[in-house]
Amino acid sequence: MILMRKPSGNQLKEFIEQQAKLPFSYPNVEATRGPAPPSYAVDHNRIKLGHGELTYQRARKALLRWRMFELPWVQLCWPNTAVQTGNTVGILAHAAGGWWLNACRIVYTFDEGGEVERLGFAYGTLPEHAAKGEERFAVEWQHADDTVWYDMLGYSQPNHRLARLGGPLARRTQQRFAADAKQAMVRAVGGR
């Protein structure tokens, strides 16, 4: 949904409640568990957050508190939403002169041990999102070299008419979010 003015708290709440009742806007639910579906743009972004267990614990906490969305031009609605399968969030972004209001539902979560410990989740787009597809957010601790990473993987296609018409701008906005989200996670764990 594209708006010329920033929506009120009540408008945000109503939008999220309405979207939460609807099916996903794409057929390949849980696509981020495997190879990219055909004809989707793929975005895979990683950044090293540091080393060791303390960094990993901070990264886990930051991910579960949606800290990657703490950006000047993005508002998560609502950051107190539990990272739990089935929960829906709204993402309000101020870009290209307007307010883009999107909704996503958490598709799956994971918390894995072993040589590489990983915690994360994926969410999928709902009908009024500018794009259609899925994005996975994860933190991992690689015991072999003691490094801790933040990892984002997304598959998307334009969904909204303006996103299709402004394809390059929509892709730049996605890339801007990925770059800014990586830096937000670095700040959240106390890195560089």
pLDDT score of 97: 77
pLDDT score of 14: 96
Compute φ and ψ for 183, nearest 5 degrees.
-70, -35
Neighbouring CB atoms inside 10 A of 9's CB total: 9
Q: Which fold has domain 2-25+39-188?
A: Alpha-D-Glucose-1,6-Bisphosphate; Chain A, domain 4 (3.30.530)
pLDDT score of 170: 66
C-alpha to C-alpha distance for 133 and 37, rounded to whole angstroms: 10
Question: What letters, b where the CB count within 10 A reaches 16 and e where it falls short, cover 136-170?
Answer: bbbbbbbeeeebbbbbbbbbbbbbbeebeebeeeb
- Quick one: which of 49, 74, 76, 54 has its CA closest to 65? 76
C-alpha to C-alpha distance for 176 and 86, rounded to whole angstroms: 27
Domain locations in the chain as residue ranges: 2-25+39-188
List residues bridging with 103 in a β-sheet.
90
C-alpha to C-alpha distance for 134 and 105, rounded to whole angstroms: 9
Q: What is the pLDDT along the chain (192 residues), one digit of tens a residue?
A: 677 789 999 999 999 999 999 999 999 999 999 998 988 989 999 999 999 999 999 999 999 999 999 999 999 999 999 999 999 999 999 976 789 899 999 999 999 999 999 999 999 999 998 889 999 999 999 999 999 999 999 999 887 665 555 556 666 878 899 999 999 999 999 965
Residue-wise pLDDT tens digits, 71-115: 999 999 999 999 999 999 999 999 767 898 999 999 999 999 999
Tell me whether residue 62 is exposed, middle or buried, using C-beta atoms within 10 angstroms of its C-beta: 0 to 12, 13 to 18, 19 or more: buried
Kindly report the pTM of this predicted structure.
0.93
Contact residues for 11 (Cβ-Cβ < 8 A; gap 6+): none
Give the type of residue at 174. Q
pLDDT score of 168: 64
